[in-house]
Amino acid sequence: MDSGFKSNRPQLRRGLCYSNEGRKQAGSPSVIVIGGGIAGVAAARALHDASFQVVLLESRDRLGGRVHTDFSFGFPVDLGASWLHGVCKENPLAPLIGRLGLPLYRTSGDNSVLYDHDLESYALFDMDGNQVPQELVTKVGEAFENILKETDKVRLENNEDMSILRAFSIVFERRPDLRLEGLPHKVLQWYLCRMEGWFAADSETISLKCWDQEELLPGGHGLMVRGYLPVINTLAKGLDIHLNHRVTKIARRYNGVKVTVEDGSTFIADAAVVAVPLGVLKSKTITFEPELPDWKEKAIKDLGVGIENKIVLNFDHVFWPNVEFLGVVAETSYGCSYFLNLHKAIGHPVLVYMPAGKLARDIEKMSDEAAANFAFTQLKKILPDASAPIQYLVSRWGSDVNSLGSYSYDTVGKSHDLYERLRIPIDNLFFAGEATSISYPGSVHGAFSTGLMAAEGCRMRVLERYGELDIFQPVMGEEATVSVPLLISRM
Ligand SMILES: Cc1cc2nc3c(=O)[nH]c(=O)nc-3n(C[C@H](O)[C@H](O)[C@H](O)COP(=O)(O)OP(=O)(O)OC[C@H]3O[C@@H](n4cnc5c(N)ncnc54)[C@H](O)[C@@H]3O)c2cc1C
């Protein structure tokens, strides 16, 4: 049996973190971090600062993962995460963002209806290009909230879980007065479309029992005006990072971990932090030796991963209303559209079309050009005189082998504690990433926190074995607690 550990038994080798090229460093405990998204980079930073030898292996040719700031338009545009959800000092990322002086453009306050945006910043249109009166948008928003309240009663009455869609139909059977027809019905579908966007999944797959179990931080939602990348770059400074290193195998023994990369090279350390996306774990492209326990495998299988994408259209001038969001209402949530007006936040004439769930999956089957045309066609429905974009960008988070999905969500009939199961370490293998965050799944700050948690768990575990816990710093040092006010524009 292939093992990188035999010759060192029974003692753990100190400070070895080397590849088959023979690189060796001695002196302190060692960790391999797998995955260079925010969770992996945060874990690597924390362990590096706690005097561990850290090697970070990343399959792509860039860091950041689902944080991906693109500069090809000549200014930063985020193709993955772009909002800080919870613009407040309690947000685990606030100290870092504050210290870097990164500006935020807040798109909603604390009281945002439907989680992410203010109603007054929307302009909704029907398929004929007629703007939906704002009073109607507000009224249907209230009706949507009432329907959600009624679904809560359905939840309390039923032991069995069901989908949000099923709960809606029960509510409509009981309360025909909440049923809407014509244009109000289409606006309601648009609200449902936004809810589906939050989970990156269709309402027939979202769990009624768990859909609202995540914690929402106060302070509303702020767009990272200069993109999220500076956060990643700051955390990654000075780390030993190996890009284009796709991990294919993780072997663990009682005294260490051996990680194999696609090209056959291997890395050995005392412990590893696995910070790859849930979609990648589901695909089983990484072999674990010995196999992961059944409860862990089941958590990987049962937790949902949805798809949300961005089709970014860059125009030569602004020809749309001066609101933060443009929407097209339709008979079904699948037919509705949603555009973020980046001009408000960054001053460039850019609209971002954001499909989710089945629609996002269907659009991923198209070429980039066809996808951009599709988004532009939706825009033409509401603004027939729209001029064609001069540039576009298309994300493919569902089919990209490095992500295989956009973020995790609770599927019908599965327990919310799956996130915690995914996080729980196995021996010297620690797990991080958005899907391991029980409080803030699907977010950058959630993923960041899990990176710190995994690092602390790893530090404790490795150092306990040496009885030297006190000589290394805890992973959350003094710096992280320094509070600098966030730079927020609007509200
Ligand atoms: C379109 C979109 C919009 C979003 N919007 C927001 C938002 O506005 N606000 C918000 O808070 N969150 C948002 N999110 C969610 C947020 O981006 C994620 O929750 C977070 O970035 C996940 O970080 P992570 O470190 O867990 O995973 P990732 O960022 O995916 O990092 C995992 C890393 O592992 C690497 N990897 C994969 N396989 C291997 C392998 N075999 N070997 C080595 N490395 C590997 C990947 O390349 C990647 O770099 C959005 C996500 C998407 C896709």
The Cα 442–Cα 437 span in angstroms is: 8
Which atom of ligand 1 lies nearest, measured to the CA of 41? 25
- CA 396 to chain CA centroid, Å, is 14
> Vertex 305, ends 242 and 156: CA angle to 5°?
140
Contact 336, 191 (CB under 8 A): no
- Using the atom order of ligand 1, give the atom closest to the CA of residue 446: 19
Cite the beta strand spans of 35-102 per DSSP E. Answer: 53-57, 69-70, 77-78, 83-85
Q: Is the CB of 214 under 6 A from ligand 1?
A: no
Place of tokens 């009981």: 174
Per-residue pLDDT of the chain (491 residues; tens, 9 = 90+): 333 333 332 233 334 455 544 433 456 899 999 999 999 999 999 999 999 999 999 999 999 999 999 999 999 999 999 999 999 999 999 999 999 999 999 888 766 545 555 666 889 999 999 999 999 998 998 899 899 999 999 999 999 999 999 999 999 999 999 999 999 999 999 999 999 999 999 999 999 999 888 888 988 889 999 999 999 999 999 999 999 999 999 999 888 999 999 999 999 999 999 999 999 999 999 999 999 999 999 999 999 999 999 999 999 999 999 999 999 999 999 999 999 999 999 999 999 999 999 999 999 999 999 999 999 999 999 999 999 999 999 999 999 999 999 999 999 999 989 999 999 999 999 999 999 999 999 999 999 999 999 999 999 998 887 665 555 555 554 344 446 677 777 64
Q: Is the C-beta atom of 35 inside 6 A of ligand 1? A: yes
Q: Is 227 left (phi over 0), alpha (psi -120 to 50) or beta?
A: left
Considering only CA atoms, give the Rg of the chain: 24
pLDDT computed for residue 250 by the predictor = 98
What count of other Cβ atoms lies within 10 Å of the Cβ of residue 391?
Answer: 14
CA of 257 to the centre of ligand 1 (A): 24
The helix/strand/coil state of 194 is helix
Ligand 1 atom nearest residue 36's Cα = 49
- Give the Å distance between the CA of 224 and the centre of ligand 1: 16
In the chain, what's the furthest Cα-to-Cα distance? 75
Q: Using the structure block, give the residue that is written with the tokens 């995540």.
A: 214
Residue closest to 115 by CA, chosen among 54, 172, 191, 52: 191
How many Cβ atoms sit within 10 Å of the Cβ of residue 254?
11
Both tokens of residue 63?
A: 């860091």
Query: Identity (one letter) of the amino acid at 266?
Result: T
Question: What is the secondary structure of 37-55 as a DSSP string?
Answer: BHHHHHHHHHHHHTT-EEE
Residue nearest ligand 1's atom 35 by CA: 35
Ligand 1 atom 27 nearest Cα: 37
Q: What secondary structure letter does DSSP report for 376?
A: H
Strand order in the sheet with 311-314: 122-125, 325-328, 337-341, 350-353, 311-314, 391-394
Closest residue CA from atom 53 of ligand 1: 406
Query: Are 278 and 408 within 8 A, CB to CB?
Result: yes
The CB-side HSE value for 266 (13 A sphere, CA atoms) comes to 16
Please tell me whether 247 is known to bind a ligand.
Answer: yes
**CA 320 to centroid of chain Cα atoms:** 29
Query: How far is CA 104 from its chain centroid?
Result: 18
Residue 26 neighbours by CB under 8 Å, 6+ apart: 14, 15, 16
**Residue 65 CA to ligand 1 centre (angstroms):** 4
Q: Is 247 in the pocket of ligand 1 (CB under 6 A)?
A: yes
Ligand 1 atom index nearest CA of 276: 34
117 lines ligand 1 (CB under 6 A): no
SS3 sequence of 428-453: CEEECCHHHCCCCCCCHHHHHHHHHH
Q: Would you give the DSSP letter of residue 481?
A: G
228 lines ligand 1 (CB under 6 A): no
Would you say the ipTM is above 0.85?
yes
Q: How far apart are CA 150 and CA 268, in angstroms?
A: 55
Say if ligand 1 is within 6 A of residue 40 CB.
yes
Closest CA to 91 of 457, 453, 447: 447
DSSP assigned state of 471: G
State the pLDDT at residue 10: 29
pLDDT at position 484, please?
64
> Is position 353 annotated in a ligand binding site?
yes
The dihedral sign for the CA sequence 315, 318, 319, 323: positive
Residue 469 has what pLDDT? 52
The per-residue pLDDT for 393 is 98
CA–CA gap between residue 108 and residue 115 (Å, rounded): 9
Query: What are residue 317's phi and psi, to 5 degrees?
Result: -160, 165
Q: According to the model, what pLDDT value does residue 1 have?
A: 34
What is the Cα–Cα distance from 467 to 403, expressed in whole angstroms?
A: 38
Q: Which of 63, 287, 444 to mutate to test the pocket of ligand 1 (most atoms within 8 A of CB)?
A: 444
Name the closest-CA residue to atom 1, ligand 1.
80
Coil/strand/helix, residue 89:
coil
Calculate how far, in angstroms, residue 395's C-alpha sits from the geometric centre of ligand 1.
13
Give residue 59 CA to ligand 1 midpoint distance, Å: 13
Closest among 458, 65, 107 to 231, alpha carbons compared: 65
